Each structure stands twice: as C-alpha cells, then as structure tokens.
C-alpha cells in the first residue's frame, strides 16, 4: 500500500512536467485517430446478399422481398415522366419552380455557380420575393468551393432559407464524411423531381459533346410525391429543427396515373436498403438485366449474382463511362471486377460521346430503378441517397429503350482488353483497392 501511495503522489506531482511536445503529439494522434475512425468506420451496415433465383420480378412476392428494408408496399396511382439531359431536365424543373404558390423544397449534392446555377438561383429568388417559402439544402462538399458566397447571400437576402447538410466547418468529424447525395425538388407538395442530375454547367445540352454530360431525371406526380417530401423533411429537420406541415407541404394526393412505385431513401445508421433491392432484382431476372452506372465498382457478391444470372440464360449488359470520366479512382476500383464479370459472360460497354452520369437498372423490362445511387461502396454504406423503383411494363420498356439508345453510342469492353491493360492501370487498381470503401 505504501509503495502504491508513493507512486501516486509522485505521478500527481510530476505529470505536468511531461514536455509540451508529448502532450501535443498525444492530442494530434487522438484527433487523427478520431478522423480515421470517422471516415472508415462510421457507416451503414452493408450485407452481402446471395438470394437464390426462386421467383421472378413478375411474381407477387418480388416487390415486398426487394423492398423489405425500405417500404415493402408499392404506392399506386403515380405518373412519372422521364427527362433526359439538361435540355429537358432544367426547363421542366425551372418551370415547376416558377409556378409555385406555397412552397419550394430543394436538396442537392452538387450545385455550382455558373449558367445553370444562376438560373436556379434567380428562380428561387423570384418565388421567395413573391411570398413562397423557399428552402434550399445543399451539400457542403458537393456544393463547396464551386459555389460562390455571393449566390448564397443573394438567395438568403431575398427570403430563401439556405442551409448545408452536415456543414464542413464543424468539429463533428464523424459527420463530415457522410454527405447527402440526394436530388430532390418538391413544389407545393404536389410535384416532385429526382434522379441523377447535378446543377452545374456540365449538365447543359443534350449529351452530344464532352462538356455536356449524359443523365436521366424524372418528373413525379401522384402519392409518391409525399414520399419525396418526407425524405426532404428527414434532412431538413435534422439541420434546422423545423418540421414541414400543412396543406402547402402535404396536400391530399389522389391518383394521377397507373404506375406502382416506391421511394427508397438511404438513412444513416441503418442497414443499407439499396443493395438488397439490387440483389433481389438481379436474382429474379429471367430475360435481361440492363445496368447503367456512372461509378460502377460492384462487390464480389454483386459480381457473383450477375454471373449467376448469365448462367441461367439472362442477358446482362452493363454500361459505364468510357474515355470521359471525372472520377478515375472510382473507375480504377471498379475495373478490378471487370475480369470476373467478363469471364462469366457479362457484357460491358463504355459510353463514348461524353461522361455517362446516369444510374439506372432495368430487369426484364418490368422492374426499373433510378436515382442518385451508384453501384459502389460509398453509395451503399456512407452517402445519403435517394432512388425510385417502378414496377410497370410500359415504364420498364421505356427505360430499357433509353438504355438501348445509349448502347448504340458505346463500345464493348472485352476480356481481351482487360487482360491487356497496362502496368499503370494495374497499379492504380491495386492502390484504389485500399480505399474501396470510400469510392
């Protein structure tokens, strides 16, 4: 006991004599450890699903099985209008904003100053000055340095409420890596838009030049709009502590079409819903699987599901970016899966005219999935995403025809090309594999 007491007294007298450099080093290591933990370990749980081919997308048990982690009941009575590229997407969204009478709710990952950004900025400002409640939520990284402070200040001065999701100027390192990748516009609670587009000049035009990216978005009418509004409120209330309510936010929405559909939002600290939908859809295919994805880095289990589909006679076509790609690291990470896919009979095509930014899945021309999610680890486990699924013959056929039109502007990527890739490609694949969870 005496020795222990002596040691305690000695420590309490001398702990402060530890050099300041040691204290600083300890503090730096503690912060660095917290940052590493926040980046690599704060994430949703992602399960590697391997469902058997026991039913098809046409069977009644399909929809509930696929959507069990989101909402297993399809919403009836919706109308969804596909919009392709900036020349269709932006005019439709701007027109909807200009007609707003009560509220405009907008959430975006990427919003940049420029021609497109100015059009939306001015539309928001005009409606706010007219007395419409305009709420704008932007991601601090996707809409960071490329968005000028003057644009934010102009919107706020006009009466718009502009906030950032998980602001980057924060001590909450556990939140900085978790970004909103969603694209949501809801006008008067009655008209919604979502998809993959970014609000920047790269998305102008009709995808016929390298500077005009290829993308797909959608205009949504019917009961499904309430689900979009709910997804927006989920993030809005988290950042502002303000709830949305009333007829201008959640009006009664009757049927306006015949589509059965569902909104699938990814939420923090939950089991990832999109990988389950993808897995069940792939395992349920009988005829054809069409995948378009901007950042395609499938897991081993997803590759196995695609190869298994080929073995039972399903045509599997995957369309990815070609020579125009804004994220070479993700492309390198995804290329590691190409070998097994090609050996298993999966056909891979690279889009040639410009950057392919669409994220769509069509199974047997009946089940369709589109939205913000990429086929990669970041979308599955980290980012807040939002996708829409549709179970309808006509809509599925329409999205499949969009896929086939894009395929005509693509070149096959063959197994021989994969085997002959150069040393630099192999090195980048090896390096990016270390950060696969973040890509």
302-338 pLDDT, tens digit per residue, is 999 999 999 999 999 999 999 999 888 778 878 888 9
219-232 pLDDT, tens digit per residue, is 999 999 999 999 99
What is the reported pLDDT for 206?
95
Tokens of 238: 């988290």
Q: How far is CA 174 from CA 28, 34, 168, 286, in A?
A: 16, 8, 11, 43
358-405 pLDDT, tens digit per residue, is 999 999 999 999 999 999 888 888 889 999 999 999 999 999 999 999
Same domain, 102 and 53: no
Same domain, 128 and 147: yes
End residue of a domain, out of 213, 238, 262: 262
Same domain, 218 and 330: no
Cα 1 to chain centroid distance, Å, stands at 62
Domain encompassing residue 179: 76-262
What is the reported pLDDT for 435?
62
CB atoms within 10 A of CB 178: 21
Same domain, 57 and 92: no
Q: Does the residue 177 lie in any domain?
A: yes
End residue of a domain, out of 262, 288, 308: 262
Closest among 354, 263, 260, 338 to 302, alpha carbons compared: 338
Same domain, 389 and 407: yes
| β-bridge partners, 360 | 292, 370
Question: In angstroms, rounded to a whole number, what is the distance separating the alpha carbons of residues 388 and 82?
Answer: 12
Q: Does the residue 122 lie in any domain?
A: yes
DSSP for 346-371, please give it.
-EEEEE-SS-B--EEEEETTTEEEEE
Split into its structural domains, the chain has a count of 2
Please tell me the pTM assigned to this model. Answer: 0.90
Same domain, 129 and 273: no
pLDDT band at 157 (very low <50, low <70, confident <90, very high): very high
Report whether pLDDT(434) > 90: no
Task: Give the pLDDT mean for 187-197.
Answer: 98
Q: Does the residue 285 lie in any domain?
A: yes
Q: Does the residue 8 lie in any domain?
A: no
Q: How far is CA 341 from CA 247, 297, 344, in A?
A: 50, 12, 5
Q: Tell me the percentage of the chain whose pLDDT exceeds 70.
A: 89
Type and span of the H or E element at 276? helix 274-283
Same domain, 307 and 321: yes
End residue of a domain, out of 238, 262, 286: 262
The backbone torsions φ and ψ at residue 285, rounded to the nearest 5 degrees and listed phi first, read: -70, 140
Same domain, 90 and 217: yes
Q: Does the residue 18 lie in any domain?
A: no
What is the reported pLDDT for 233?
97
What is the reported pLDDT for 376?
86
pLDDT band at 56 (very low <50, low <70, confident <90, very high): very high
DSSP for 35-52, please give it.
HHHHHHHSS-B-------
Type and span of the H or E element at 328? helix 328-335
Same domain, 249 and 270: no
Q: Does the residue 2 lie in any domain?
A: no
Same domain, 135 and 224: yes
Q: Does the residue 30 lie in any domain?
A: no
Tokens of 359: 């994220």
What is the reported pLDDT for 431?
79
Tokens of 208: 């016929």
What is the reported pLDDT for 7?
47
CATH number of the domain encompassing residue 228: 3.30.870.10
- Considering only residues 406 and 44, tell me which one the structure prediction assigns the higher pLDDT: 406
């Amino acid at each position: 006991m005496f020795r222990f007491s002596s040691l305690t007294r000695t420590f309490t007298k001398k702990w402060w004599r530890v050099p300041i450099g040691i204290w600083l080093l300890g503090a730096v290591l503690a912060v660095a450890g917290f940052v590493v933990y926040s980046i690599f370990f704060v994430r949703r749980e992602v399960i590697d699903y391997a469902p058997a081919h026991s039913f098809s997308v046409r069977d009644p048990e399909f929809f509930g099985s696929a959507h069990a982690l989101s909402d297993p009941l399809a919403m009836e009575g919706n109308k969804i209008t596909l919009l392709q590229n900036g020349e269709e997407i932006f005019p439709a969204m701007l027109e909807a904003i200009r007609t707003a009478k009560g509220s405009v709710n907008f959430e975006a990952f990427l919003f940049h100053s420029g021609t497109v950004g100015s059009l939306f900025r001015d539309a928001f400002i005009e409606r706010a000055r007219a007395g419409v409640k305009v709420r704008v939520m932007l991601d601090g990284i996707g809409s960071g340095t490329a968005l000028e402070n003057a644009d934010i200040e102009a919107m706020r001065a006009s009466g718009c409420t502009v906030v950032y999701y998980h602001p980057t100027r924060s001590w909450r390192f556990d939140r900085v890596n978790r970004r909103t990748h969603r694209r949501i516009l809801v006008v008067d609670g009655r008209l919604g838009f979502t998809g993959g587009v970014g609000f920047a000049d790269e998305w102008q035009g009709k995808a016929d030049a390298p500077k005009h990216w290829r993308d797909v978005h959608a205009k949504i009418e019917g009961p499904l709009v309430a689900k979009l509004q709910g997804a927006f409120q989920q993030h809005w209330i988290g950042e502002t502590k303000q709830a949305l309510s009333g007829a201008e936010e959640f009006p009664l929405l009757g049927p306006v079409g015949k589509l059965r559909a569902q909104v699938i939002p990814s939420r923090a600290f939950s089991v990832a819903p999109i990988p389950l939908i993808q897995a069940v859809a792939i395992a349920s295919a009988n005829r054809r699987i069409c995948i378009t994805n901007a950042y395609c880095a499938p897991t081993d289990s997803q590759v196995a599901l695609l190869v298994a589909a080929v073995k039972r006679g399903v045509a599997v076509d995957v369309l990815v970016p070609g020579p125009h790609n804004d994220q070479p690291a993700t492309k390198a990470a995804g290329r590691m899966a190409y070998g097994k896919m090609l050996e298993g009979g999966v056909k891979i095509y690279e889009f040639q005219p410009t950057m392919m930014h669409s994220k769509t899945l069509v199974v047997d021309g009946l089940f369709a999935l589109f939205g913000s999610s990429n086929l990669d680890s970041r979308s599955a486990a980290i980012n807040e995403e939002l996708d829409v699924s549709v179970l309808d013959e006509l809509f599925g056929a329409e999205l499949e025809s969009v896929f086939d039109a894009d395929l005509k502007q693509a070149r096959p990527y063959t197994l021989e090309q994969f085997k002959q890739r150069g040393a630099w490609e192999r090195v980048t694949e090896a390096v990016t594999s270390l950060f696969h969870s973040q890509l």
